[in-house]
Amino acid sequence: MLPIDAAAHSSRWRRRHPLDKAVLALGLTVSAVCLPPWPGSLLVVVAALVLLLGPAAVPPRQLWRAYRIPLGFCVTGALPLLVRLGGPHGPLSLAPDGPAHAGQLLLRTSAASLGVLLFSFTTPLSDLLPRLARAGVPPAVVDVALVTYRMAFLLLDTVSRVRQAQAARLGKSGRAAAWRSLAGLGATVFVRAFARAARLQTGLAGRGYDGSLRVLVAESEVSRRFVAASVALLAGIAALTLALERLTP
């Protein structure tokens, strides 16, 4: 199990209905995209961090390990805005408004990433996917997502075991050995993936699979107080953003 999935299963908000957390987390994401980057996105970053580290009780180290990957993409996407191709100053020069545009993009994307992480760190996919069928998503789509989610962890475990076996047999003692081990790893995982899929299909057929996988989901009700508090927080962020934007010269 990936660290973010383990954190979601042990989150304080695990027993809350996914709709409660979707209103809050996706609302923060939409606010980060729609509101002015200054100070809207900054307020979203502060609110998301307070919620993640406070009520949701996400360990700071796990949050940073999960956040640094999308943050790297955010920085990489903002860097090209600093330069300009062509023009009177040569084939490559600094853009006049490059730092401002890069900073705005970085604020927007990093704030939106935190909103998505708030939902990911508090809602396991095993709680979300079965409820999608009740919301009108075709059962076949939900079943494929559930099986893919399960198979992903099995394949990751297979990769880890094969790598440990290769390292124990000096499969990484040199560059040539490392390349051979990598090729063997890919071939082994490919073959085992097809073998697991075949066994899964046989098992489902033996259990009378009729087109939908039925799983037990912990019952939970939508909290009107939580949704109202989330909407109030989002409205407060929007109002404070517009007020500070008017005061900024």
Within 13 Å and on the Cβ side, how many CA atoms surround 93?
Answer: 9
Looking at the fold, whether 92 and 140 belong to one and the same domain comes out as no
Taking the C-alpha atoms of residue 108 and residue 42, their distance in angstroms, rounded to an integer, is 8
Rounded mean pLDDT of 5-32?
Answer: 87
Is 239 contained in some domain?
yes
151/187 same-domain check: yes
Q: What is the pLDDT of residues 131-148, one digit of tens each?
A: 777 777 777 777 778 778
Number of domains in the chain: 2
Are residues 144 and 67 both part of a single domain?
A: no
Q: If you average pLDDT over residues 135-164, what whole number do you get? A: 80
**Amino acid at site 191:** V
DSSP, res 92:
E
Amino acid letter, residue 62: Q
- For helices 98-120 and 60-78, give the axis angle rounded to 10 degrees: 150
Residue predicted with more confidence, 87 or 145: 145
Give me 121's structure tokens. 């760190």
Buried b (16+ CB within 10 A) or exposed e, 217-236: eeeeeeeeebbeebeebbee
Question: Quick check: is 214 in a domain?
Answer: no
Q: Are residues 40 and 117 in the same domain?
A: yes
Rounded to whole angstroms, how far apart are CA atoms 232 and 21?
A: 14
Three-state DSSP class for residue 122: coil
Q: What is the mean pLDDT of residues 167-193?
A: 83
C-beta separation of 29 from 95 below 8 A: no
Asked if residue 139 is part of any domain, the answer here is yes
**211 assigned to some structural domain:** no
- pLDDT, residue 212, reads 66
Give the separation between CA 75 and CA 81, rounded to whole angstroms: 10
Written as six digits, the tokens of 229 are: 């508090």
pLDDT band at 124 (very low <50, low <70, confident <90, very high): confident
45 and 77 in a single domain? The answer is yes
Helix (H, G, I), strand (E, B) or coil at 85: strand
Residue 143 structural domain: 129-206
User: What is the reported pLDDT for 214?
Assistant: 67
Round to whole Å and give the CA distance between 91 and 164.
Answer: 50
The packing angle between helices 224-247 and 42-53, to 10°, is 150
The residue type found at 146 is L
User: pLDDT tens, 182-239?
Assistant: 888 888 888 888 888 788 778 877 777 666 666 666 677 888 899 999 999 999 999 9
